[in-house]
Amino acid sequence: MDKVRPAVFLDKDGTLVKDVPYNVDPDRIRLTPGADEALAELHRAGFLLVVVSNQSGVARGLFPEAALAGVWKRLSDLLAPVPLAGWYHCPHGPADGCDCRKPKPGMLTRAAAELGIDLGRSWMVGDILNDVEAGLRAGCRAVLIDNGNETEWVRGPEREPHFRVRTLPEAARVIRTSA
């Protein structure tokens, strides 16, 4: 498939939705303030919107992988009529050595191959430096939503975002004006 469209890859917990650890209850999912308007703005600007989320609760036995279907449906419903082009998740734990768990870029590169995404014109938005690193390793630009969720601050050349903002609406404005 030709790589023709730019995308914005979005971390789920703490970026797109309020962070409730290991939550797969659709009724408890709440968008972060302004997320619906921010994604509508990005969609109107021509970006595909793709959620990429580590879900180690599966590997830890906290919930079955099938439970994530309800999360995806809830997010799609909350964001309608703005379409999410894809939902990618890593069900592995931190020590599993997979290629899909952020900070590795596997979810982003898989989405690019499946959805025809031009990674060089795309962005990764997340609330921790592992999100930033995944985006940069995939060849995207990265925005860190500095909302207090990053607690380790392990620095490195692949962990420096292009922009640092406080909210998803701010990230959308930065992306639109820098694209």
Question: Is 53 buried (19+), middle (13-18) or exposed (0-12) by CB count in 10 A?
Answer: buried
Residues 6+ away with beta carbon under 8 Å from 35 = 16, 17, 79, 168, 169
Decide if 13 is catalytic: yes
Decide if 96 is catalytic: no
Q: Are 39 and 82 in contact (CB under 8 A)?
A: yes
Single out the residue of 141, 146, 142, 140 nearest to residue 127, CA to CA.
146
> Count of CB atoms within 10 A of residue 8's CB?
24
* Residue whose token pair is 């630009």: 141
In the set 2, 13, 131, 146, the catalytic residue is 13
In the set 11, 19, 25, 127, the catalytic residue is 11
Catalytic residues: 11, 13
